[in-house]
Structure 1
Amino acid sequence: MNETNLMSKMKISKAVATMAIPSVISSLVTVVYNMADTFFVGQTGDPLQVAAVSLTNPIFILFMAFANMFGMGGSATASIAMGEKNEKRMKNVSAFITYASLITGIFFAVILLLGAKPILQIFGADKQTYDLAYGYLFHISYGAPFVIWSAAASFVVRAEGASKEAMIGSMIGTIVNIILDPIMINGLHMGAAGAAIATTIGNILASLYYAWYFIKKSKCFSIHPGYFKYKDKILTTVCSSGFPTAIFSVLMSVSTIVLNQILVVYGNAPVAAIGIVFKANMFITFLQMGLANGVQPLLGYNYGAGNIKRFRAVESYTKKCCLIVGILSTVLYFVFRTQIIKLFISDPEVVNYGVTMLIAYMISGPVIGVLFVNMNCMQSVGRALSATILSVLRQGVLLIPLLYLLNAVARIHGVIYGQALTDYIAVILSTIIWKQYQNSITKEKDSVK
């Protein structure tokens, strides 16, 4: 496929479909990937095992924070470089993302292995869940470099227009994980620790696939050490462009820790339930996030090329798609809410909590995609600060105090509505902010002409 034709000339609906469908599939593969651990651990019938996986979920989210920062930031930076026909910078970006991901992963591995006990205590592990949670933490720790780089690489590969290859890489990790989960968790009776081993092996194999792609198949990118550099604004541009997505994930990790600390007061059943709901609700969220992330190279390329009319057409069409799939998926989840929770576990207490929590989390499902598209638009045109502020508000400044407030006012029944309330506030704010940027961007490009 001619990348220039795809990015600048192809019919909007076809271009969006070409880029977004593989991205959506990759996102849904990620959902299945994340659900797999909880699903197979749930088949043990032990709520404590499920609670242990839920308590350690912030670790994986933290890995994804840096993967998203390098991946989304690198994708945005590389897309603009492609629009400007700057081949050397494209190779510098891909090499930087590779080695920055690996170095960051090694750093996290060391921190987690040395500080496991205090970290798990902060996460809310008690005497019943500590040993189970430690098993998961230990085995996911040494997989950190591969988890981070394989996720970051998928974004960069997609920026080249190779959405199919990015999807294949994601599917390799997921399929391996799904195959190994029942073997490790139930067959070898390793429980939560087995889930972490399966996850690590899956990411190692996905990393090997992406290494092969960059070395043998990529036309624009390289992971050769000779191209690695952080000067010439490589580091600052990549990190600032990807920072909104990263801070979103970091604060999601923090808010998950806070939420677990609040819920564990009511017992381990609510902790297990919220872990299941968090994973299940990812389908609605990641479906729309996949759409938004998939078109990011289109947005970045056309902004770099000065084609604002096409930029806006891509934005508008993607938002309509997000609204449609958001509404349909939310309705589907509402109808089958009980069956969805029972897929993971049959414990009556956990199921009752889970159904109530799932309904609360679904409230923002129809509109959350608008937020992701607005944030990607901001990142694609270099307005990363506003997108960062929105992320901070959604997962930190607004959500965390709101969780404590709702707990004080309505206890557990109030806490579970905190995320939906902050989602709606963030969607409204992002729409207002992005509208203000649109006119200034048009004037900026016109002045250049």
Structure 2
Amino acid sequence: MDENELMGSMKVSKAVAKMAIPSVISSLVTVVYNMADTFFVGQTGDPLQVAAVSQTNPIFILFMAFANMFGMGGSAAASMALGEKKEKRVKQVSSFITYASLIVGIVFAVILLAGMQPVLQLFGADADTYELAKGYTTYISYGAPFIIWSAAASFVVRSDGASREAMTGSMIGTVANIILDPIFISGFGMGAAGTAIATTIGNIMASVYYLWYFCRKSRNMSMAFRYFKCGDRILSQVCSAGLPTAIFSALMSISTIILNQILVAYGNAPVAAIGIVFKANMFITFLQMGLANGVQPLLGYSYGAGNRERFITVERYTKKCCLIVGVLATALFFFFREPIIRLFISDTEVINYGVEMLIAYMISGPVIGILFMNMNCMQSTGNALPATILSILRQGVLLIPVLYGLNALLGLHGVIYGQALTDYVAVLLSIVIWRWKRRKTL
């Protein structure tokens, strides 16, 4: 199929389906990928193992912060360049994403391995969970370059109109992880450390697949070092366009650390429960995030080509899809909330905490996709700053004070509603800001 037909002239509903469905599948694969770790660790029957994985979750989120910045920023920059017919710039963007991801991954590995103890203490690890968390962190550090690059590459490959290939790369890593998890966790008795080994191997396999795509299949993309450059606004365009998503993930990591520090005062059972709830609630969030991310190349291409009408049609149609999916997914989780938690662990205390926390977290499920769509629209039109501000508000400036405030006023049963409260504020602000920016931009 001709790329111009898909991006510029195909019926919007069909183009959205063609781009969004593989993206949604990739997102759900990511959810399964994350759920698998917690699920297989939970089968050990040891809440401390689950708590250790929960406490180290901010590390993986930080990896994703940079992966999302390079991936989403690179996807936006590449989509615009494709719409403007700038072939060399597309190659420069894809090459920059490759080497920037690898460099940042190596830096992360060095920092984590050299500063293991203070990092894990900051994340809330105590005497009961420190050694378990240390095993996970050691092995996940070795995989940092591959984890960041494979995730970033999936976004850039999607901007090439190759949503199926992007999905395939994600599935390779996930299937490998799911197969290897029980082998290392239970078979070799490695617990949380086995989870990290499986994750690292899965991402190495995904990286090999994307290496093949860049070198052998793509006509537009390249990872040749001769195209690698930070000048000519490559670095600034990629990082500014991807910054909102990166800040979103980075602040999620920070807020997760703070939440773990608050919850550990009530014992390790609530920490284990929130780790399960994070993974379970990802299904609702990532389902809508997948829709929003999937159409980002369509938005960027339409804006780059000056096609205002198509941009707005894609935006409105995808928002309707997000609302429908959000309502249905939230209803499903509400009715099956206890079986969902029991799927991960059999400990009664953790289950009771988990059911209450899951209800609190999925309150914003029906509308969260609107926030992701508005942020992607801003990023696709070069309005990175307001999208960045929304990310900062949702995961930091608003959420962190709300967590401390609700904990002081209502204790454990109040703090778990902090995320839903800030989500609704962020959604409302995104609607106001994007309407204002759309009138000025389009």
How high is the TM-score relative to the length of structure 1? 0.98
- Partner in structure 2 of residue 273 of structure 1: 273
Correspondence 1:261 to 2:261: yes
Deviation track 1:252-299 (CA, whole Å, cap 9, x = no partner) reads 000000000000000000000000000000000000000000000000
SS of residue paired to 1:344: coil
Match of 1:447 in 2: none
Residue 375 of structure 1 pairs with residue 375 of structure 2 = yes
> Cα distance, 1:11 vs. partner?
0.4
Offset of residue 65 of structure 1? 0.1
Q: CA deviation at 1:42?
A: 0.1
For 1:280-359, list aligned pairs within 5 A. 280-359=280-359
- Cα deviation, residue 97, structure 1: 0.2
Runs of 5+ consecutive residues of structure 2 not aligned to the other structure: none
CA distance in 1, matches of 2:188, 2:12: 50
Matched, 1:65 2:71: no
* Equivalence for 1:248: 248
Q: How many residues align?
A: 442
Which residue type is aligned with residue 68 of structure 1? N
Q: What is aligned with 2:226?
A: 226
Cα distance in 2 for partners of 1:58, 1:227 equals 33
Q: How does 1:97-112 map to 2 (within 5 A)?
A: 97-112=97-112
Query: 1:25 maps to what in 2?
Result: 25
Q: Secondary structure at the match of 2:343?
A: helix
Structure 2 equivalent of residue 446 of structure 1: none
Structure 2 distance, partners of 1:242, 1:140, is 24
List structure 1 segments (4+ residues) > 3 angstroms apart after TM superposition: none
Alpha-carbon separation, structure 1, partners of 2:100 and 2:391:
23
- What letter matches 2:77 in structure 1? T
Aligned partner of 2:390 in structure 1 is 390
| In 2, Cα distance between equivalents of 1:86 and 1:250 | 32
Paired residue secondary structure (1:85)? coil
What is the CA distance between 1:439 and its match in structure 2?
1.2
The alignment partner of 1:189 has SS state of coil
Secondary structure of the equivalent of 1:427?
Answer: helix
Q: CA deviation at 1:40?
A: 0.1
Spell out, residue by residue over 1:336-374, the C-alpha distance to the aligned partner (whole angstroms, 9 max, x if none): 000000000010000000000000000000000000000
SS in 1 for 2:249: helix
Match of 1:120 in 2: 120
2:412 aligned partner: 412
1:97-131 Cα shifts (integer Å, max 9, x gaps):
00000000000000000000000000000000000
Report the 3-state secondary structure (helix = DSSP H, G, I; strand = E; otherwise coil) of the residue aligned with 2:382.
Answer: coil
Q: Distance in 1 between matches of 2:418 and 2:350?
A: 20
Alignment of 1:429-444 (within 5 A): 429-442=429-442
CA displacement, residues 140-175 of structure 1 (integer Å, 9 cap, x when unaligned): 001000000000000000000000000000000000
Deviation, 1:437, is 1.0
Counterparts of 1:116 and 1:397, CA distance in 2: 28
| Cα distance between partner residues in 2 of 1:441 and 1:52 | 46
Structure 1 residue runs of 5 or longer lacking an equivalent are 443-449
- Inter-partner Cα distance in structure 2 for 1:398 and 1:292: 23
Partners of 1:403 and 1:409 lie apart in 2 by 10
SS at match of 1:265: helix
Give the aligned residue type for 1:248: F
- Report the TM-score, using the length of structure 2 for normalisation: 1.00
Structure-2 residue corresponding to 1:179: 179
- Equivalent AA in structure 1 for residue 419 of structure 2: Q
How far apart in 1 are the matches of 2:352 and 2:306? 53
The residue type equivalent to 1:362 in the other structure is: M
- What is the CA distance between 1:438 and its match in structure 2? 1.3
The SS at the match of 1:65 is: helix
Matched residues in 1 for 2:234 and 2:213: separation?
Answer: 22
C-alpha separation in 2, matches of 1:18 and 1:219: 20
- Cα deviation code 1:43-62 (max 9, x no counterpart): 00000000000000000000
| 1:130 and 2:110 aligned | no
Residue identity opposite 2:125 in structure 1:
A
Question: How far 1:441 moved relative to its partner?
Answer: 1.5
Q: Aligned partners of 2:352 and 2:411: how far apart in 1?
A: 16
Percentage of pairs with the same residue: 76
1:93 Cα offset (Å): 0.1
**What's the CA shift string for 1:412-444, capped at 9, x where partnerless?**
0000000000000000000000000111123xx
Matched, 1:148 2:148: yes
Letter matched to residue 436 of structure 1 = W
Letter in 2 for 1:432: V
User: Secondary structure, in 3 states, of the residue corresponding to 2:364?
Assistant: coil
Instruction: Report the 3-state secondary structure (helix = DSSP H, G, I; strand = E; otherwise coil) of the residue aligned with 1:247.
Output: helix
Alignment partner, residue 95 of structure 2: 95
Structure 1 residue 403 and structure 2 residue 377: aligned? no
**Alpha-carbon shift at residue 394 of structure 1 (Å):** 0.1
2: CA distance between counterparts of 1:247 and 1:434? Answer: 18
RMSD: 0.3
Offset, 1:177: 0.2
Residues 382-429 of structure 1 deviation map (CA, whole Å, 9 limit, x = unaligned): 000000000000000000000000000000000000000000000000
> 1: CA distance between counterparts of 2:290 and 2:399?
23
Find the aligned partners of 2:337 and 2:382 in 1 and give their Cα distance: 40
